[in-house]
Amino acid sequence: MRRWAKRIGLGLLAFVAALTVSAAIYDGVSRGGLPADTLYAGPYVQVDGRSLAYRRWGDHGSPIVLIGGFLEASDVWRSVGPLLGRTHRVFALDLPPFGYSERKGPYTLDAWLDEVEGFERALGIVRPTLVGHSLGAAVAVGEALRHPHGLRGIVLLDGDALREGGAPSWIGALAVDPYFTAVYRMLTGWNWVFRRGLSSAYGAYGPKLTQAELDRWQRPFYVAGTAAAFAQMLPHGIQGYALADLRRVKGVPVVVAWGEHDTTDSVQAGRTTAKALHAPFVLLPRAAHLSMLVDPGGVARAVERVAG
């Protein structure tokens, strides 16, 4: 009996050792850890010792700041940006650790709010309309709570700004190298994972999932420090506010807009948030979660309800 136990124990040990070695080798040879500027040419701006990537459109009119959600680089605004840019100065920010902004924590809501404010200071943006998509909606609400007079208004797009439980705190402890990096790189290099995620987020009317389209979404994962950043962010879960906090938003015009086929964040959740904020609720036809890439015209009109 003890002999068998010993054999199984040794077998397991050998397996773990082999796994560790192969994970380490995989980490060594797989792609990762590239400087952001080799993946995205810019523009970048230095804010509090961090390099933040952004995009901009338009050169006149009241300013609009666009904030993407979880895993979203500022290129998700590539269709909406030019539409709004005809009559506004439009800035889309890569919220770290997404897109091409420097991977430097902490990745908390408070830190994101500081970054947005620093970004606005650095670029001379005064009293913008703040548009937050998905997780970015919480950032928009956060700014409305912090500086109601510093905003023309906020637009919540496919994001209810509410926090969701999040992972238990020990989950971060599981993110141990070399396994975590190996698993991270396998998943992020795997087209199937992206195809599945994107076809649900785009719905039936999104852009075609060509290799070029998949690349757009995969490329930011190769920025140096991304895996570690995700490990650090994981225990926080989906950050946001309580419904009672939303009711404290005062004196800031709000519009909530939603893709009617959104399954990532339900239309019902959007209605509840709109109600708590006493905001108009705009339902966008055909669009799912990534409404800005399916119905850019509808999204631009919703933003202009606030931005003018």
Q: Which residues bind other proteins (CB under 8 A)?
A: 257, 260, 271, 275, 278, 280-286, 295, 298, 301-302, 305
Distances in Å between the Cα of 6 and the Cα atoms of 3, 9, 19, 69 are 5, 5, 20, 50
Joined tokens for residue 30: 């797989």
Q: Give the residue with the Cβ less far from other proteins, 88 or 261.
A: 261
Query: Considering the complex, what minimum distance in angstroms separates the CB of residue 304 from other proteins?
Result: 11
- Shortest distance (Å) from residue 202 CB to other proteins: 17
Side-chain half-sphere CA neighbours of 125 within 13 A: 25
Contact, 292 vs 77, CB < 8 A? yes
Taking the least distance from each CB to other proteins, the nearer of 126 and 204 is 204
Residue 94 C-beta: closest distance to other proteins, Å = 27
What is the enclosing helix (H) or strand (E) of 130?
A: strand 129-133
C-alpha span between 5 and 11 (Å, rounded): 10
Match 């050998």 to its residue by tokens. Answer: 14
Tell me the closest approach of the beta carbon of residue 283 to other proteins, in angstroms. 5
How many CB atoms sit inside 10 A of residue 31's CB? 11
Of 73 and 155, the one with the shorter C-beta distance to other proteins is 155
What's the gap between Cα 55 and its chain centre?
Answer: 15
- Cβ proximity to other proteins: between 189 and 280 the closer is 280
Q: Which is nearer to other proteins, 57 or 281 (CB)?
A: 281
Could you tell me the smallest distance in angstroms from the CB atom of residue 215 to other proteins?
Answer: 30
Helix, strand or coil, per DSSP, at residue 14: helix
> Of all helices (H) and strands (E), which one includes residue 229?
helix 226-233
Nearer to other proteins (CB atom), residue 162 or residue 256: 256
Nearer residue to other proteins within complex by CB, 107 or 281: 281
Q: How many CB atoms lie within 10 A of CB 120?
A: 22
- Minimum Å distance from CB 221 to other proteins? 32
Task: Count CA atoms within 13 Å of residue 307 on its CB side.
Answer: 28
Residue 128 Cβ, how far from other proteins at the closest point, in Å?
A: 22
Rounded to 5°, the CA angle 48-152-262 comes to: 85
